[in-house]
Structure 1
Amino acid sequence: MLKPGKSLNRRNALAILGFGAIGFHAAPAVAAAKLGEDGLYHLNWYLESFLDLSEDLAAATGKGKRFAIMWGLKGCPSCKKMHEVHLADPKIENYIRDNFEILHLNHIGSRTVTDFDGRKLGEKALGEAYGIRFTPTIQFFPDKPSGLSALRGQAREVVRMPGLLEPREFLAMFRYVRERGYDTLSFPDWLGKQA
């Protein structure tokens, strides 16, 4: 039975007809990105955070996932393409959602973020401290926060995706981090061995 205010869509219709009960299972649906009031695209699986980077990294590791920060900006055409093309591909979206915790920050935002060394900075100041120059930029961090407080800026990252790669390379960068390819090879060399 539908709850008041809910419309009948294909998913609700299938549930009402009981297809799930007889063994009919569709592939997980890709979540559609929604444009928020802040001008950033949001996906329902992005990390909801108290904006404490050490806690976020430790929580991601505890779930067997890697932690990354994605920087976006209102009106960014590459951010739009990333959400409407790259992250709309089920293969890409499912891999990232299943293996990463993504904290989406605003390049010019003012929310207060606690950095790995305990400093509290606005999003814009944090981006400046890490040398974030354009969007989208994705920062990938080690799987443990230990030792990060002694490092500064980009030295805390295991790898960075500056700008938007084509879909194949975009997904490959996430695999590179998940498989710790950065321990032995540069991304271009690792990518060449994957072909």
Structure 2
Amino acid sequence: MISRRQVLVSGSAMVLAGSAGRAQAAPVLTDDGLYSEPWFINSFLDLRDDLADATANKKRFAIMWELKGCPYCKETHFVNFADPTIQHYVKNNFAIVQLNVIGTREVTDFDGTKMTEKQFSQKYNVRFTPTFQFFPENLAEFVDKSPDKREVARLPGYLKPAHFLTLFRFVREKGYERGDFRSYLKAQGD
């Protein structure tokens, strides 16, 4: 005879198993033609505040640069971020602001300078999409440095999912303090 406890345990296990197999939230196509993840930061584009909020929430801050029609930007969303392991890790450890490399929205840089997204991308020499920029946890560590010295890591272009996740781990674990990404990748056996 089956006990009530066995039915409850079995039912709970089935509900959990069913929810584990559900697809992740799909990216949404925005008005400017970029795909966006529902868990990206909804920002006022004052990067000082975004960095402070990320740090207060024990996350690392990153910018994802995109361009309408970019096939590798789309692949980043529909392949890399669609992988539940990658999405879970990035969502729980990073605060990401999405910017348009030719965009017209006003961005306030870490040093307080206001400019358009396009001007900001030029200031930071962003030339490819997608590009991810990763920054230190504290503004004081880099605000007085030139833009090319502010990042702790950069991903210019597309990486296959396994290496993509490894790059985010490299930043989260501060692997850049011990060496470059290639060395970290080798040490991981990838």
Q: Same fold (TM over 0.5)?
A: yes
**Structure 1 unaligned runs (5+)?**
1-18
Deviation (angstroms), 1:29: 4.6
Equivalent residue letter for 2:56:
G
Q: Work out the CA distance in 2 between the residues paired with 1:164 and 1:170.
A: 8
**Structure 2 unaligned runs (5+)?**
1-7
Equivalent residue letter for 1:188:
R
Q: Work out the CA distance in 1 between the residues paired with 2:144 and 2:83.
A: 38
Residue 112 of structure 2 is matched in structure 1 by 118
Deviation (angstroms), 1:185: 1.4
CA contact (8 A) 1:70 1:139 kept: yes
Residue 81 of structure 1 is matched in structure 2 by 75
Normalising by structure 2, report the TM-score.
0.89
Does residue 173 (structure 1) correspond to residue 167 (structure 2)? The answer is yes
RMSD: 1.4
Does residue 59 (structure 1) correspond to residue 32 (structure 2)? The answer is no
Residue 32 of structure 1 is matched in structure 2 by 26
Equivalent residue letter for 2:163:
E
SS of alignment partner, residue 88 of structure 1: coil
2:154 to 160, 177, 181: 160
Residue 64 of structure 2 is matched in structure 1 by 70
Deviation (angstroms), 1:154: 2.3
Q: Work out the CA distance in 2 between the residues paired with 1:65 and 1:99.
A: 5
Equivalent residue letter for 1:122:
T
Residue 8 of structure 1 is matched in structure 2 by none
Equivalent residue letter for 1:183:
E
Q: Work out the CA distance in 1 between the residues paired with 2:34 and 2:148.
A: 23
Q: Work out the CA distance in 1 between the residues paired with 2:102 and 2:152.
A: 24
CA contact (8 A) 1:117 1:148 kept: no
